[in-house]
Structure 1
Amino acid sequence: MSTYVLVAEDDRKQAELIRRYLVHDGYEVTVVHDGETAFREATRRPPDLLVLDWMLPSLDGLEICRRLRVAGELPILMLTARSTEDDLLRGLDLGADDYMTKPFRPRELVARVRTVLRRSRHTAHPASVAPPFATAPVAPAIREALTVGRLTVNATRHQVFVHDRPVNCTPGEFRILSAMAASPDRVFTRSQLLDCLADHGRTVSERTVDVHILNLRKKIEISPRRPQHLVTVHGIGYKLTSGDHGA
């Protein structure tokens, strides 16, 4: 049985281009051009994946995400002309599994569709999946509170503090931060950090990790654009360090 993809895109030329590329790659595709129809089709015949434009008439992509997430865990690839971090976080927080900013290359979209579907199937069959950090395991934290520089992570109480200031983190952000705090100065690849999120029952991409890191920097760094604690190791990933204690 072929994989079924529902495409919701109000730009008819763009929608037809997406349809042709997906059909060429072997997918069964239905195209709709407004939000109400997209939601109706997604609930009438749930697709294996929904390619969803953010700005649709009658019902926008964020509201569709919100409604569909109440019903289940349908994989969603969001298309958007918006590119600010806040906009992308809104989409991910409401349930999008990945996003692409316009304009994009159709071949890249097809590759993203394959990736989201692969992760979706990976999550749906956990017995066949190696445990998180299988190739480089992280030893479980023995201490209740982990302190790295001015940052404290309390795994038992699900609390984060910068000095004595409490920091509110989403569940995904907390899991990433806890793993990194348990092994300070260790370099984590995006794939390893992705494993922190994989057992939440949702498919996520490496871009999701990047967005979580950006959001965490806003919460724990004095200057998010010049991070001292949650730093990038170019070409590899990220690490959590004690940073500048005098900052």
Structure 2
Amino acid sequence: MARNSRHGQGKIVLVIEDDQAMATLVRTYLEHEGYEVETAETGEEGIEMVQRVSPHVVLLDLMLPATSGWDVLRTLRSRRDVPVIMVTGRRTEEDRLRGFEGGADDYVVKPFSPREVVARVRAVLRRCGLRHEPGPQVHRFGRLEIDEAAREVRIDGIDVGLKPREYSLLCALAANVGVALSRDALLERVWGFDFDGDERTVDVHIRRLRAKIEERHAYGPCVQTLHGFGYKFVAQA
């Protein structure tokens, strides 16, 4: 396996997995792509390591001893915006939706190809903006502004506190002001071509956006529902 450091250079991946053989396999493939890899065998250790090493992405096994992956995800989402990829043997749509509703950025079902995991790590990092393009801008829509450099959405100068996926979804909508985007189009732009989840994932994240932007900060409505189709962004003065 030839080493390729272009993709992962400077990026830290934390693997929270109690199966040591699985963790070692994933670690080997990630390190060959240039990622720095830390591992934790329990949820408690994983939470502590997130605080200590500040990973760029977390691979989180759902079935952990003592503290479950769900509890770890809930704790991480209450403290940090680090992207999380859930890794589990559960295949049901309900489990996938629960993961996304809980704040997971991607969901990988065992058994999987290690190369697929590497590709998903790379895609999540790309979608979460850890590869910055030249010339970041601040886009203003009345009281709302999207700061590309800081990856922040502010209303009246106050950070709204969007999660990475919520930020990417708002950017996809705001880049097409007044244009109707289907759920499939949003899934493709925000979650990627290889996402095998449900269209309702978009609806879940739209509800979160509205709660944070329209309800908490009284801005909008800025996202309109097009029943049976999708959504569009409407700029407010």
| 1:117 and 2:130 correspond | no
The one of 4, 25, 31 equivalent to 2:33 is 25
Instruction: Tell me which residue corresponds to 2:69.
Output: 61
Q: Secondary structure at the match of 1:211?
A: coil
How many angstroms apart in 2 are the aligned matches of 1:62 and 1:188? 26
Superposition map of 1:2-151 within 5 A: 2-121=10-129, 128=136
Deviations 1:170-228 (A, max 9, x none): x99xx9xx99xx888x86643x4455xx6xxxxx5556684233797xxxxxxxxxxxx
Q: Do the aligned residues in 2 keep the contact of 1:92 with 1:208 (CA within 8 Å)?
A: no
What amino acid is aligned across from residue 41 of structure 2 in structure 1? H
- CA distance in 1: counterparts of 2:43 and 2:195, whole angstroms: 24
Larger radius of gyration: 1
- Report the Cα distance in structure 1 between the residues aligned to 2:84 and 2:12, rounded to whole angstroms: 13
Contact 1:54–1:78 (8 Å) recurs in 2:
yes
1:216-231 matches, within 5 Å, as 230=228
Structure 1 stretches lacking a partner, 5+ long: 132-170, 199-203, 217-228, 231-238, 241-247
Which residue is equivalent to 2:200?
Answer: 213
**TM-score, normalised with respect to structure 2:** 0.59
Q: List, as ranges, runs of 4+ consecutive aligned residues in structure 1 with deviation greater than 2 Å.
A: 122-129, 186-190, 192-195, 204-216
Give 1:75's aligned amino acid: P
Please give the residue correspondences for 1:181-200 in structure 2 after superposition, counting only pairs within 5 Å. Answer: 189-190=184-185, 192-193=186-187
Displacement of 1:122 in angstroms is 5.7
Paired residue type of 2:99: G
- Seen in structure 2, the aligned counterparts of structure 1 residues 37 and 93 have a Cα distance that, compared at 3 Å, is same
Partner amino acid, structure 1, of 2:25: L
